[in-house]
Amino acid sequence: MKRAYRQFTERFIEGLLALSGTVTSLTVLLIVVFLFNEGLSLFGTSPLENKTALVVNESNPVQKLSAVSIKDIFDQKITNWKEVGGKDEDILIITVNDIGNYYSEEQIGAEFEHLPDCFSRLVDSLPNALAVINESYRTSYFKGHTIDVNKNNLPDFLSGKEWFPTAEPAVQLGVLPLILGTLMVSLLAILLALPIGLATAIYMAEIADERIRKVLKPVIELLAGIPSVVYGFFGLITIVPFIHDVFDLPVGETALAGSLVLAIMALPTIITVSEDAIRNTPRSMREASLALGANKWQTIQKVVLPYSMSGISAAAILGIGRAIGETMAVLMVTGNAAVMPKSILQPVRTIPATIAAELGEAPNGGVHYKALFALGCILFIITLIINIWVERISAKRKFKK
């Protein structure tokens, strides 16, 4: 009896442990489900916000417009129907605000009850009109046809060069500037941090006294633990004004500022991981090299570094992954301009910073909200690829040993 009870307990606890182990896997799956559920639902929705419709005169041959050309029309970069495949006529935009110029208050009605009618007559009388109306005005007796707007889709999303999710009437959801901004800031950060971090790691593992190392190691561990918002704050107070003054720029919040802050943040990780990799070189390898007459530097160069290369590259890739996902520090110092990055001395905006800055203002369930989740998906996929990459490198390393 007692024995059966004991066996039952053992089984029960083993089950509990297995369950806990499964929780992490479930979490990842849940994250994937939620992220992609919201993110992918973006595609197929219309870029027209708030139930808006675009209508034109019956005679207008234009049937379809893309979100980008709509924005260009409203920004008056496109002013003639010819440019979007119509007749050679100037585009006349009519919105609710303009309707007063054509009809009196009486005609519109005190409760705006005649508004749909006014629009209908106006569009019918002006062959070059482009009216922005509420979808509900589009009743069967409305004269004029609706312009089809290309639905949000993945290729446009990835290749679009404009990120303007609150634009009226059509939102602009091009993530290319954000992706490029993210890559530019993080890669530059690693380019800066890797050689310096590696040199420091070599110094700590191979050159420094044990006593010096005992002092340095905790300092570097401490810095690895400092919250990113503190680094962001530090960057904001020191690096941003510094860049502003040195390069004589209108604003100091630039890609360079982001890269510098990220580089500082990446240093502790790179140093710790590379130092471990270097110290893991077997003693027998070092001894063999020294016994053949190599000096310490030759041994480091020809034996230690090649041997620890996979560990060091894991450190670099890990650093890139962290930098790509870093949110707060970057948000605070890069200026967040969602434009195609051209120089490191311009403000840029990264994917995480965009999510952090905009999610609070995006109406729940709207196109903007979904677009931010789609950004989350991109971020997730990038970091997943990086994780698997690091995994494979370290697996190879274990095999080698």
Partner 1 sequence: MRMIETKNVQLYYGDFHALKDISMQIESNTVTALIGPSGCGKSTYLRLFNRMNDLIDNVRIEGDVLVEGRDIYGKGLGMRIDELRKKVGMVFQKPNPFPKSIFENVAYGLRVNGIKNKDYIEERVETSLKQSALWNEVKDKLNKSAFELSGGQQQRLCIARALANEPSVLLMDEPASALDPISTAKIEELIYELKEKYTIIIVTHNMQQAGRVSDKTAFFYLGELIEYDTTPHIFTNPTDSRTQAYVTGRFG
Partner 2 sequence: MEKQTKQQIAFWIFRIFAWCVVALLLGILYFIFSRGWRTISWEFLTSIPEDGMTKGGIYPAIIGTLCLVGGSMIFAFPIGLLAGIYINEYAKDNWFKRFIKLMTNNLAGIPSIVFGLFGMALFVKKLNFGDSILAGSLTLGLLALPVVIRVTEEALLAVENSFRQGSLALGATKLQTIRKVVLPIATPNIITGLILAIGRVSGETAPILFTVAAYFLPQLPTSVFDQVMALPYHLYVISTSGTNITASRDMAYGTALVLVMIVLLLNLLANALRRYFSNRVKMN
Site for partner 1 in 185-214 (CB under 8 A): 210
Residue 303 site contact among partner 2, partner 1, none (CB < 5 to 8 Å, cut-off depends on kind)? partner 1
* Helix orientation angle between 367-400 and 2-40, rounded to the nearest 10 degrees: 130
Residue 359 has what DSSP assignment?
T
| Residue 135: count of CB within 10 angstroms of its CB | 11
- Does 101 help bind partner 1 (rule: CB under 8 A)? no
Which residues have CB under 8 Å from 217's CB, separation 6+? 204
Which residue number, 110 or 291, has a Cβ lying nearer to partner 1? Answer: 291
298 near partner 2, rule: CB under 8 A: yes
Q: Report if residue 398 touches partner 1, rule: CB under 8 A.
A: no
Binding flag, residue 291, partner 1 (CB under 8 A):
yes
Which region, judged by CB under 8 A, interacts with partner 2, from 27-35, 122-130, 160-168, 172-180?
Answer: 27-35
Q: Per rule CB under 8 A, is residue 285 in the interface with partner 1?
A: yes
Stretch that binds partner 1, among 30-38, 48-56, 303-311, 321-329 (CB under 8 A): 303-311
Taking the complex as a whole, the smallest distance from the CB of residue 34 to partner 2 amounts, in Å, to: 5
Angle at alpha carbon of residue 215, lines to 214 and 218, rounded to 5°: 90
Q: Work out which of 43, 103, 203, 242 binds partner 2, going by CB under 8 A.
A: 203
Minimum distance between the CB of residue 26 and partner 2, rounded to whole angstroms? Answer: 9
- Please identify, among the stretches 139-147, 151-159, 198-206, 283-291, the one whose residues bind partner 1 according to the rule CB under 8 A: 283-291
The reply to whether 401 sits near partner 1 by the rule CB under 8 A is no
Sign for the pseudo-dihedral over CA of 229, 231, 234, 239: negative
Q: What is d(CA 256, CA 208) in angstroms, rounded to the nearest whole number?
A: 32
Ordered strands of the 129-134 beta sheet? 92-94, 129-134, 52-56, 145-146
* Two structure tokens written together for 223: 């810095």
Amino acid at 124: D
Q: What is the DSSP letter of 236?
A: I
Kindly list the residues in this chain that would bind partner 1 in the complex (CB under 8 A). Answer: 210, 282, 284-295, 298, 302-303, 306-307, 400
